């Protein structure tokens, strides 16, 4: 679960944000969907004798995970829109009510760039002429905030949730067809490791990494998680 995409990491996709937003959602949902239900099913396969239990637990996990991830993503998106609007309001207020302080903040940004004092004054004068451009500048360059798409949150939640379900059904599928959990695990591991590799390859392509390195990373995470879950379940179930 739990594809943690750090704040910084996605910056480079912002330029083509609308076209790659769906792809990003699918990557987020499917990374976790392929990994965690796989590991859980693997863990249970070493501890129970009934395939049915693996299926029940796996489906419960997929439902729980897709809701937590989808709904979590939805609320995070809403929060982001709220945050942007609150900051926008504050900057707009400051530009009107504390113009001297805001001017000084703009000047400091250009000072950091290594611009000479006389040119700093010139640029600041031109920039503050138009309140809208001034506020835009503060939002982007002082706060580093891009305007979020308000409709994105709900679309994103659905995309991530569905991708999680699709990803999660892959490792679970074999258990529907065999009677022994260990037999299920063999098929599940074979199919999932291949899918993790293919998925990792495309994920890396999309996020601009080296594809083979990405493919092995994703495969490694899934395999380590599954092996550890298998080990701990075996240990405590005796």
Q: Are 166 and 173 within 8 A, CB to CB?
A: no
Considering only residues 26, 27, 30, 55, which one is a binding residue for its own copies as defined by CB under 8 A? 55
160 near its own copies (CB under 8 A): yes
Stretch that binds its own copies, among 44-52, 91-99, 178-186, 190-198 (CB under 8 A): 44-52
Give, as ranges, the residues between 78 and 97 that touch its own copies (CB under 8 A). Answer: 79-80, 82-84, 87
Cα–Cα–Cα angle for 189, 195, 199, rounded to 5 degrees: 145
Considering only residues 53, 92, 162, 193, which one is a binding residue for its own copies as defined by CB under 8 A? 53
Between CA 65 and CA 211 the distance in angstroms is: 27
Cα–Cα–Cα angle for 113, 109, 133, rounded to 5 degrees: 120
Pick the closer one to its own copies by CB: 76 or 190: 76
Dihedral (CA of 173, 178, 181, 184) sign:
negative
104 near its own copies (CB under 8 A): no
For 182, counting Cβ atoms within 10 Å of its Cβ (0-12 exposed, 13-18 middle, 19+ buried), the class is exposed
Pick the closer one to its own copies by CB: 79 or 180: 79
Give, as ranges, the residues between 164 and 223 that touch its own copies (CB under 8 A). Answer: 164, 207-209, 217, 220-222
Pick the closer one to its own copies by CB: 43 or 184: 43
Q: Are 53 and 180 within 8 A, CB to CB?
A: no
Pick the closer one to its own copies by CB: 39 or 95: 39
Overall size of the chain counted in residues: 238
- Smallest separation, CB 183 to its own copies (Å): 19
Pick the closer one to its own copies by CB: 6 or 19: 6
- Smallest separation, CB 66 to its own copies (Å): 8
Q: Are 160 and 23 within 8 A, CB to CB?
A: no
Cα–Cα distance list, 206 to 11, 35, 164 (Å): 13, 19, 18
Give, as ranges, the residues between 113 and 152 that touch its own copies (CB under 8 A). Answer: 113-116, 119, 122-123, 126-127, 129-130, 133, 137, 141, 143-146, 148
């Amino acid at each position: 679960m739990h594809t943690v995409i750090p704040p910084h990491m996605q910056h480079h996709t912002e330029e083509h944000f609308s076209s790659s937003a769906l792809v990003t959602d699918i990557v987020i949902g499917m990374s976790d969907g392929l990994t965690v239900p796989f590991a859980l099913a693997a863990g249970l396969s070493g501890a129970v004798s009934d395939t049915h239990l693996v299926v029940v637990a796996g489906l419960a996990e997929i439902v729980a995970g897709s809701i937590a991830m989808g709904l979590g993503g939805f609320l995070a998106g809403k929060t982001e829109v709220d945050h942007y609007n609150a900051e926008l309001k504050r900057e707009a207020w400051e530009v009107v009510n504390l113009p001297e302080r805001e001017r000084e903040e703009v000047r400091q940004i250009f000072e950091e760039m290594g611009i000479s004092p006389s040119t700093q004054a010139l640029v600041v004068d031109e920039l503050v002429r138009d309140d809208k451009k001034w506020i835009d500048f503060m939002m982007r360059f002082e706060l580093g905030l891009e305007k979020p798409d308000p409709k994105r949150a709900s679309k994103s939640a659905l995309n991530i949730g569905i991708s999680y379900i699709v990803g999660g059904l892959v490792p679970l599928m074999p258990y529907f067809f065999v009677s022994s959990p260990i037999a299920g695990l063999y098929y599940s591991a074979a199919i999932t490791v291949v899918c993790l590799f293919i998925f990792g390859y495309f994920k890396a392509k999309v996020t601009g990494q080296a594809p083979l390195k990405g493919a092995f990373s994703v495969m490694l995470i899934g395999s380590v998680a599954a092996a550890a879950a298998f080990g701990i379940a075996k240990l405590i179930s005796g």
